[in-house]
Structure 1
Amino acid sequence: MYIEEVFRRRNEVGGSIEVICGSMFSGKTEELIRRVNRARIAKVHVEIFSPVADTRYDKSALVSHNLNSIPSKAVDNASAILPLAAHVQVVGIDEAQFFDDDLPHVVSKLANSGVRVIVAGLDMDFKGRPFGSMPELMAMAESVTKLHAVCVKCGSPALNSYRLVPDESQVLLGEKESYEPRCRNCFNLDGIAG
């Protein structure tokens, strides 16, 4: 009941949902870290969460591809965020596409209770299809920032994450050995999208 009271009181302030999306290597995590650091400069209480399933870097820190980092908490599922965010004014959530289907409900509950929620994640999978809860989160958000990488084939803005390895599972954790950013034309030239 205490957590519900905290959420009720915080509602007087007014919360919001911000979504940062784009392809791999577009700077989503970097932008999330930048926004969270600005909140910390303002002496706002912040917590950052990531899914336990993302094992590429550090379970106690959010790390960008540029190796910038900030402390974070890895959680098993979206609902685990609520009790950990009871006294927080800003919540950052990275790799949102890997969370379970309860994430939009959790994000909405936080925002409705007065929390500024910043969510970052891939908006499309390696086949160019909407990924996880990202479309729903984007629809609920007050603001959506779509970032682009640089296409490794032609230098145009890249919106797709092209998979370099033969694996058809939707989730395949990897870095530059497994993915590269591609623009729409270069992505489609190799016959991946469909």
Structure 2
Amino acid sequence: MILAGCKVFGMLFSEDVFKRRSEHGGSIEVVCGSMFSGKTEELIRRLRRAQIARLNVEIFKPMTDTRYDEMAVVSHNQNSIPCTPVESSSAILLLGSHVQVVGIDEAQFFDEELAYVCDTLANKGVRVIVAGLDMDYKGKPFGPMPGVMAIAESVTKVHAVCVQCGNPALYSYRLVPDGARILLGEKESYEPRCRNCYNL
């Protein structure tokens, strides 16, 4: 009788712990850096680990990012993971509120509501993993990234290799004469540079 009671208590305790973890275990992780620094690669790695752990994962990217695949997040190394392209950050809140892990790539291209969306999801118990450029080609904070970084539990800044000198690179140097803040491109349009080479 006592043993049965312990088993029942243990089941109730376990369910209670799971409930509390799911309700209050949310967090925000940011992976940021320049172009070609491995941001998307790291995002994919973390999301795949979550999938291996059999967590319910949903991945989003801006609808405007069509460089490699419209329905997948793809790294420069051609690693990929299926995703849902969305027009605004509010769609992420709508589609990602009932999952355990939300991944967001190219976060700098989203609207300023992204920080609110990430915060709301985390407060509901969702683990939110965000990857994006922290600076634009002029070296200025990019889009909603500063706001998301400010409320994140962890921020990982990854570096590329400066193609001019080989030092760690934190800037995305634009090679083409285009003044638009947003210019989708790859190695034909950008190269990673360190601070000294960027300011040459």
Give the TM-score of the pair, scaled to structure 1.
0.91
The worse-fitting range, judged by mean Cα deviation, of 80-89 and 126-135 is 80-89
CA distance, structure 1, for counterparts of residue 24 and residue 49 of structure 2: 19
Picking from 43, 59, 63, the partner of 1:48 is 59
The equivalent residue for 1:187 is 198
- Structure 1: runs of 5+ lacking an equivalent: 1-7, 190-194
CA distance, structure 1, for counterparts of residue 172 and residue 96 of structure 2: 32
Per-residue CA deviation, residues 82-129 of structure 1 (Å, 9 max, x unaligned), is: 221132100000000000111111100000000000000000000100
1:10 Cα deviation (Å)? 7.5
Q: Give the letter for the 2:59 counterpart.
A: I
CA distance, structure 2, for counterparts of residue 100 and residue 12 of structure 1: 27
The equivalent residue for 2:113 is 102
- Contact 2:43–2:131 (Cα < 8 Å) also in 1: yes
Aligned residues: 182
The equivalent residue for 1:123 is 134
Q: Give the letter for the 1:101 counterpart.
A: E
1:9 Cα deviation (Å)? 8.2
- Structure 2: runs of 5+ lacking an equivalent: 1-18
Q: Give the letter for the 1:35 counterpart.
A: R
**CA radius of gyration, larger in:** 2
1:57 Cα deviation (Å)? 1.4
Larger helix percent:
2
Picking from 155, 159, 164, the partner of 1:148 is 159
Q: SS of the counterpart of 2:172?
A: strand
The equivalent residue for 1:69 is 80
CA distance, structure 2, for counterparts of residue 72 and residue 101 of structure 1: 21
CA distance, structure 1, for counterparts of residue 61 and residue 70 of structure 2: 8
CA distance, structure 1, for counterparts of residue 191 and residue 40 of structure 2: 16
1:155 Cα deviation (Å)? 0.1
Give the TM-score of the pair, scaled to structure 2.
0.88
Q: Give the letter for the 1:45 counterpart.
A: N
- Structure 1 residue 172 and structure 2 residue 183: aligned? yes
CA distance, structure 2, for counterparts of residue 110 and residue 164 of structure 1: 38
- Contact 1:10–1:113 (Cα < 8 Å) also in 2: no
Q: SS of the counterpart of 2:199?
A: helix
CA distance, structure 1, for counterparts of residue 115 and residue 97 of structure 2: 17
- Contact 1:124–1:130 (Cα < 8 Å) also in 2: yes
Q: Give the letter for the 2:183 counterpart.
A: L
CA distance, structure 1, for counterparts of residue 20 and residue 86 of structure 2: 25
CA RMSD of aligned residues (A): 1.3
- Contact 1:10–1:115 (Cα < 8 Å) also in 2: no
